[in-house]
Amino acid sequence: MTDQAVRSTEFPGGRPAAHAPAEADLFRTAAWRIIPLLILCYMFSYLDRINLSFARQPMERDLNFSDATYGLGAGLFFVGYIAFQVPSSMLLVRFGARRTIAAIMIGWSLISFLFTIVDSVWQFCALRVLLGVAEAGFYPAVLYYLALWFPRHMLGRVTSGFLIAIPLSGALGGPVSVFILSRLDGAMAVPGWKWMFVIEALPALLLGFVLLRWLDDGPADAGWLDESQRRLLLAHAPAARSREPAGPALRAFTVLTRPFVPLLIVICFCQAVCNYGIVFWIPTFIGQVLGVPASEVGLYTSLPFLAAILAMTLNARSSDRWQERRWHMAGPFLIVSVVLVLTFLFHGYGVVALLLLTATLAATLCITTMIFTIPGLLLEKKTLATSLAWINSLGALGGLIGPYGIGWLRVHTGQPLAGLLLVAACAGVGGIATLRLPR
């Protein structure tokens, strides 16, 4: 298939390429079979990760801890998440995508249920670590799975289609979480934030069993494909032909010395600081700049996430159209850096600050969409799965630094928005590091 034909194969919408209608229809069919279910799964994964941001105030009151402790608990998720990234990638190669992803979803839903028994800070922190362990392999497993089905020219669009789950989880999860917190608080003598964790964990448990029945491990195992369709997918998605085992531990560590892997880890770290620093704290920031009650924060929080859906889609489509990744990621990094400084300076102007926070979140999620379209272009196919796991795991240290750093600065500087400058600095470093990648 030509590059032009691949670029014309859009998901969702679009029309098949005139020169390759059969190929275009096949990729579209595969996308509609795979992507919507993965969007739904990742939406609840991300919601189970960030719903803590909506429960911050009642949890701090009930468990008697500070903003710094909340930030630590939010970030401790990434301790378990980092520790189990590479082991999860090895399980993925050994047991296949279908069973690995389904087991991850069922595991994290069961851990989310355990938040109903939390009555102390140490229990809260321990469960956050365990939740990170459970979710560790999901994101790299899905990225690897998409590489089994789609050619690299489509990865910007396909990845952005999957990652729409992130703003959807915020746009839909915000109002739903606030509704549960306010309406079910005290029901059956249970605090509203515990009800929130239970109700929002149920869909993940059910979807885990759906995945076991619906997903295939790859084109080679898909019963809904005929032989000619299977050969076509295998020909245009080279990762699908690689079934090489992960190898011994030494080989896994050797991946860290390969070209571009350390630089991609730095970029992923800066992205994680921006992503989780903003996402975990944006309900608090919006409540402060607008001065609205907690019952209205969820509604206002949905606006930046809805704007992010549009920004992510346009940025990814532009990246695929021009076959350019570097500036489509460096640009959003630099926007985040500049706009956060402006937010800090103009936080007293409520609507202006809300618009600036909206632009920040939209640009941040554009970075998240683009970041894993680049490794497949630069790294060796035989080490791609392990490289992705290392990049995502070590980069995820930013997910600990971002939320905790913001909380620490709020407590120790007395300035509620001081943490924005930390995130702005990391975004600037991320933009510069991205521009050091080859064209």
Tell me: the pLDDT tens digits for 46-83? 787 778 888 888 888 888 888 888 888 888 888 888 88
Mean pLDDT of the chain: 82
291: enclosing H helix or E strand: none
Cα–Cα–Cα angle for 148, 431, 410, nearest 5°? 105
Band of residue 328 on the pLDDT scale cut at 50, 70, 90: very high
d(CA 239, CA 158): 15
The reported pLDDT for the residue numbered 331 is: 96
d(CA 101, CA 85): 13
Q: What is the mean pLDDT of residues 381-401?
A: 79
Band of residue 248 on the pLDDT scale cut at 50, 70, 90: very low
Q: How many CA atoms lie within 13 A of 362 on its CB side?
A: 21
Q: Two tokens at 435? A: 């521009």
Question: Cβ of 183: how many Cβ atoms within 10 Å?
Answer: 11
Q: How many CA atoms lie within 13 A of 418 on its CB side?
A: 13
Distance of CA 408 to the CA centre of its chain: 24
Contact 34, 149 (CB under 8 A): yes
Band of residue 5 on the pLDDT scale cut at 50, 70, 90: very low
Contact 267, 427 (CB under 8 A): no
149: enclosing H helix or E strand: helix 138-149
Question: Cβ of 348: how many Cβ atoms within 10 Å?
Answer: 8
pLDDT of residue 199 exceeding 80, the answer is: yes
Q: How far apart are the first and last CA of the chain?
A: 23
The reported pLDDT for the residue numbered 2 is: 34
Between these two residues, 338 and 100, which has the higher pLDDT value? 338
Between these two residues, 90 and 249, which has the higher pLDDT value? 90
Contact 196, 183 (CB under 8 A): no
Question: Cβ of 403: how many Cβ atoms within 10 Å?
Answer: 31
How many residues comprise the chain? 439
d(CA 343, CA 109): 36
pLDDT of residue 400 exceeding 90, the answer is: no
* Residue 141 CB contacts under 8 Å (≥ 6 apart), including other chains: 88, 89, 92, 97, 100, 101, 104
What are the tens digits of pLDDT across the range 351-379? 999 999 999 999 999 998 888 778 777 77
Question: What's the topology of domain 34-217+246-435?
Answer: Growth Hormone; Chain: A; (1.20.1250)
Q: Two tokens at 82? A: 């980092």
Q: Two tokens at 90? A: 């090895």
The reported pLDDT for the residue numbered 4 is: 34
- Give the pTM: 0.72
Percentage of residues in the chain having pLDDT higher than 90 = 19
Contact 67, 411 (CB under 8 A): yes
At 394, give phi and psi (nearest 5°): -70, -35
